[in-house]
Chain A
Amino acid sequence: MKRISRAIAVVATAVAVTAGLAVIPVTSASAAAPAVNCSGDARIEKSFDNGTDWQMCWRVDSKHGLVLEQVAVKAPGEDSFRRVLDSVSLGQLNVPYDTGKNVWNDITSYGFGNQYLQKLSAAECSTGTLRDYGQAWSVTRRGVTTNYLRTIPSLCITDTTRDLSYRSHEQTWGSIEDKPLFTATGQAFNLTIVSKVDWYEYATKVEFTDEGAISFNLGATGDISYEDFDADATTGWPVGTDAANYAASHWHNAFWRLDFGLDGQSVQQVEQYDSTLGEQGEMAPLMHTTGATIAHPANLVPAADTTWWRVVAPESRNADNHARSYEFVFPGSQLYQGNPITQPLISVTNYADCEQFASNNLNPACPNLSVLDYVANSADTSLTDPVAWVNSGFHHVVRDEDQSPMQTHWQSFSIMPRDWTAQSMSTPDARTCINGDTGGEIHSDETPCEAVVPTDPEPTDPPATTEPPAPTDPADPGTEEPVDGGADAPTLKLSTTELAPGESFGLEGAGFAEHESVEIVLHSDPITVGELTADGSGAISGTLKVPAAAPEGSHTVVVTGAQSGLTAKVAVTVAPAAGPAGTGAGLLASTGTALPIAAATVALLLLAVGGLLMVRRRRRSAISPI
Chain B
Amino acid sequence: MQSPPRKTRTRRLPYAILGGGVVAAAAIVGGFLAIPAVSGASGAESSATEELDEVTSKPDLGAPRDPLSPDELSYAIHLASTDESVPDDVTSVDGSDAPQVLSVDIANGDVDATGRLVDVFLFDYTSNQTFLQRVDLAGGSVESTAKAGVQPPPTPDEVDYAFSLFLDDAVASAAVRAEYAAVTGDELESIDQLAVTGGAFVPDAGTLGADACGLDRCVEMQFRVSGGGYLDTTGFVVDLSAKSVIGIK
Residues of A at the B interface (CB closer than 8 Å) are 35-40, 42, 57, 59, 61-64, 67, 69-70, 86-87, 100-106, 108-111, 113-116, 118-124, 132-153, 196, 198-199, 225-227, 259, 353-354, 356, 360, 362-365, 367-368
Contact = CB atoms under 8 A, between A and B. Distances in A.
Give 6 nearest A-B pairs by CB, closest first.
Answer: A123-B40, A121-B43, A364-B147, A138-B101, A109-B199, A121-B44
B47 A367 contact: no
B44 A120 contact: yes
Contacts of B153: 62-63, 108-111
B63 A42 contact: yes
B81 interface: yes
A137 B149 contact: no
Interface stretch (B92-100, B168-176, B186-194, B239-247): B92-100
Contact of A151 (B43, B47, B66, B206): B47
B204 A103 contact: yes
Contacts of A38: 63-66
Contact of B4 (A39, A57, A115): A115
Interface string B43-66: 111111111100000000011111
Q: Is the interface of B mostly helix, strand, loop or mixed?
A: loop
Interface string B191-231: 00000010111101010000000000000101000001110
B89 interface: no
23 contacts: A39-B62, A42-B63, A63-B103, A86-B111, A109-B201, A110-B153, A110-B197, A115-B3, A115-B5, A121-B40, A137-B155, A137-B157, A138-B157, A139-B7, A141-B92, A143-B92, A148-B4, A148-B21, A151-B46, A152-B44, A226-B228, A226-B229, A353-B109
Given A57-B111, A140-B100, A227-B234, 11 more contacts: A110-B153, A137-B157, A140-B92, A143-B92, A143-B97, A143-B98, A146-B17, A148-B21, A148-B49, A152-B47, A353-B109
A145 B77 contact: yes
Nearest to B158: A140
A141 B200 CA distance: 21
A36 B232 CA distance: 48
B96 A143 contact: yes
A145 B105 contact: no
Most buried by A among B25, B110, B114, B199: B199
A121 B222 CA distance: 26
| Interface size grouping (class) on chain B | 35 or more
B51 A116 contact: no
Nearest to A198: B222
Contacts of A57: 65, 111
Contact of B145 (A104, A144, A364): A364
Nearest to B41: A121
B69 to A, nearest CB: 9
B86 interface: no
Given A140-B92, A148-B51, A364 B150 contact: yes
A39 B65 CA distance: 8
Contacts of B104: 62, 136, 138
A86 B109 CA distance: 10
A364 B131 contact: yes
Most buried by B among A111, A139, A199: A139
B105 A62 contact: yes
A198 B197 contact: yes
Contacts of B111: 37, 57, 69-70, 86-87, 259
A138 B77 contact: yes
B142 interface: no
Interface string B87-124: 00000111011111101111011111010000001000
A37 B112 contact: yes
A59 B101 contact: no
Contacts of B201: 109
A35 to B, nearest CB: 7
Most buried by B among A136, A150, A198, A225: A136
A120 B106 CA distance: 22
B10 interface: no
Nearest to A120: B44
Nearest to B144: A364
Contact of A37 (B43, B64, B145): B64
Most buried by B among A103, A110, A119, A140: A140
Interface string B120-152: 010000000111100000000000011101111
Nearest to A353: B109
Contacts of B52: 146-149
A57 B65 CA distance: 7
B73 A149 contact: yes
B48 A144 contact: no
